[in-house]
A and B are shown apart, each in its own frame.
Chain A
């Protein structure tokens, strides 16, 4: 009963939500297993240089992975926040964060085979994976908090996409993009701000979710 209620049910919900997105659901998989490998291949082919391949992996993963990680979350949040009759979904359990966390974890699991390959060439790229865990967490919480706070999905989506562009263009102070991979203490120093921001946004999102849909009537 416990297992069914708390373990199987969220996966079933996830299955239907992803199926409901239809063709758009494959975009993250295409991004991870088609676009990224092609990019790496071309980088290596042109430069014939492992250093350039290393740089390419770091760059492309930081550009693409965060935004791909929240692709499914865009659609699921639209379903929770803006779909006609969405209040039906809040009669029993109000908090929807479990669905989002499952989607977040699913994407992390999808990234693992890719990083197993990466780290066979460059062992320090597990730190990049760790960095992406935190950045993707931040992205998820931005969307979660924004959607339930505002009651619309479009503004958090715009904010997320603009933040991605700002980060790629290296906007000072808020950008997570780095051309090198930090490890150890530097990693902690670099990522602590993003982690804290993610935790704060998650807490705020949970509070807003708890009062949803009332405060957005």
Chain B
């Protein structure tokens, strides 16, 4: 999937500016602060929003997969028919995706096993907990072996065990599917994403592997005592060691006699956002 010069305005407000990137099979994490344009980007890819400039193209044999029901999408909040069972919900979505009826049973069983909802197959929607509703949403996104799957805050409402299971699903998908995942939880990105895109003010501020993103913070991460703090340093974390307050900071100024800490993806992300 190739995005070229994608720009989107809402009224006079420029929401996305000249986004360029090429996606291939794998898991891509989209990071960015609130209002950066993550959801807008995903909706433009899905053709839910019209963009003023640019293009989104797919190089597959079938052509544009968006019209081929080979897309899975999990919105930030997903709803459910209160009167239908879990199985019937998935049948509804299978029907929407033009799946062959003979394949429904097997496919629904497959996705239910993936999200661990096989036992509540016959339970009505109104009796499901919030986490179960979310898992049903994940399950419908996985129906019909999609070529592109977009998750918007997928782990919201999931317990730790299910989050691990979800990460396993992503690992399972990454070889055959383009997976885009928008999240605020950096640990999720660290655990599964091959590539990370950082959006800032509607622009693609950085994109690359986890190491490449981390490198933005190379030589800029220090742990110092509170008394060493200087205005302009960005305090990433505070902690206490043996009663003494310690700051983990991001800074451009060289600190003599101090070795910088090993930067991780979160450090790189923050350096990109704060222009450090």
Contact present between A and B (CB < 8 A): yes
Within 8 A of B (CB), among A18-71: 19-22
Give the contacting residue for A21; candidates B47, B83, B88, B125; CB below 8 A: B83
A87-B75 in contact (CB<8A): yes
Question: A9-B95, A214-B48, A214-B49 are known contacts. Are A88 and B78 too (CB-CB below 8 A)?
Answer: yes
Question: A91-B73, A214-B50 are known contacts. Are A13 and B95 too (CB-CB below 8 A)?
Answer: yes
Counting CB contacts under 8 A, is A89 at the interface?
yes
Across the A-B interface, the 4 shortest Cβ-Cβ residue pairs = A20-B81, A22-B83, A85-B78, A84-B79
Give the chain A neighbours of B76 by CB distance below 8 A: 85
Counting CB contacts under 8 A, is B139 at the interface?
no
A87-B84 in contact (CB<8A): no
Give the chain A neighbours of B67 by CB distance below 8 A: 92
Counting CB contacts under 8 A, is B46 at the interface?
yes
A89-B96 in contact (CB<8A): yes
B95-A88 in contact (CB<8A): no
Taken together as a complex, chains A and B put the C-alpha atoms of A83 and B84 apart, in Å, by 15
**Main SS of the interface on chain B?**
loop
- Which residues of B are interface residues toward A (Cβ below 8 A)? 10, 43, 46-50, 66-67, 69, 71, 73, 75-79, 81-84, 88, 91-92, 95-98, 100, 125, 137, 140
Taken together as a complex, chains A and B put the C-alpha atoms of A211 and B48 apart, in Å, by 8
Q: Mark A1-17, 1 if CB is under 8 A from B, else 0.
A: 00011000100110011
Question: A91-B48, A91-B66 are known contacts. Are A84 and B95 too (CB-CB below 8 A)?
Answer: no
Give the chain A neighbours of B48 by CB distance below 8 A: 87, 90-91, 213-214
Counting CB contacts under 8 A, is A86 at the interface?
yes
B71-A12 in contact (CB<8A): no
- Which residues of A are interface residues toward B (Cβ below 8 A)? 4-5, 9, 12-13, 16-17, 19-22, 79, 83-92, 211, 213-214, 217
Give the chain A neighbours of B125 by CB distance below 8 A: 20
Taken together as a complex, chains A and B put the C-alpha atoms of A217 and B49 apart, in Å, by 10
B83-A20 in contact (CB<8A): yes
Give the chain B neighbours of A20 by CB distance below 8 A: 81-84, 92, 125
Give the chain A neighbours of B43 by CB distance below 8 A: 87, 214
Give the chain A neighbours of B100 by CB distance below 8 A: 4
Q: Apart from A21-B83, A22-B83, what are 4 other A-B pairs with CB-CB below 8 Å?
A: A16-B92, A20-B92, A91-B66, A92-B96
Which partner residue on chain A sits nearest B85 by CB separation? A19
Give the chain B neighbours of A9 by CB distance below 8 A: 95, 98
A95: min CB distance to chain B, Å: 13
| Residue among B83, B91, B100 having the largest count of chain A Cβ atoms under 10 Å | B83
Give the chain A neighbours of B82 by CB distance below 8 A: 20, 22
B15: min CB distance to chain A, Å: 10
Give the contacting residue for B69; candidates A79, A85, A88, A92; CB below 8 A: A92
Taken together as a complex, chains A and B put the C-alpha atoms of A21 and B125 apart, in Å, by 12
A92-B10 in contact (CB<8A): no
Taken together as a complex, chains A and B put the C-alpha atoms of A21 and B98 apart, in Å, by 22
Taken together as a complex, chains A and B put the C-alpha atoms of A91 and B67 apart, in Å, by 8
B104: min CB distance to chain A, Å: 10
Question: A19-B84, A22-B83, A90-B48 are known contacts. Are A85 and B96 too (CB-CB below 8 A)?
Answer: no
Taken together as a complex, chains A and B put the C-alpha atoms of A213 and B48 apart, in Å, by 7
Give the chain A neighbours of B88 by CB distance below 8 A: 16, 19
Give the chain B neighbours of A4 by CB distance below 8 A: 98, 100
Which partner residue on chain A sits nearest B49 by CB separation? A214
Taken together as a complex, chains A and B put the C-alpha atoms of A12 and B104 apart, in Å, by 13
Give the contacting residue for A85; candidates B10, B77, B98; CB below 8 A: B77
Give the chain B neighbours of A86 by CB distance below 8 A: 79
Taken together as a complex, chains A and B put the C-alpha atoms of A79 and B95 apart, in Å, by 16
B114: min CB distance to chain A, Å: 18
Taken together as a complex, chains A and B put the C-alpha atoms of A85 and B93 apart, in Å, by 13
Q: List 30 A-B contacts (CB under 8 A).
A: A4-B100, A9-B98, A12-B95, A13-B95, A16-B84, A16-B92, A17-B92, A19-B81, A20-B82, A20-B83, A20-B125, A84-B75, A85-B75, A85-B76, A85-B77, A85-B78, A85-B137, A87-B73, A87-B75, A88-B78, A91-B47, A91-B66, A91-B73, A92-B67, A92-B69, A92-B96, A214-B43, A214-B48, A214-B49, A214-B50
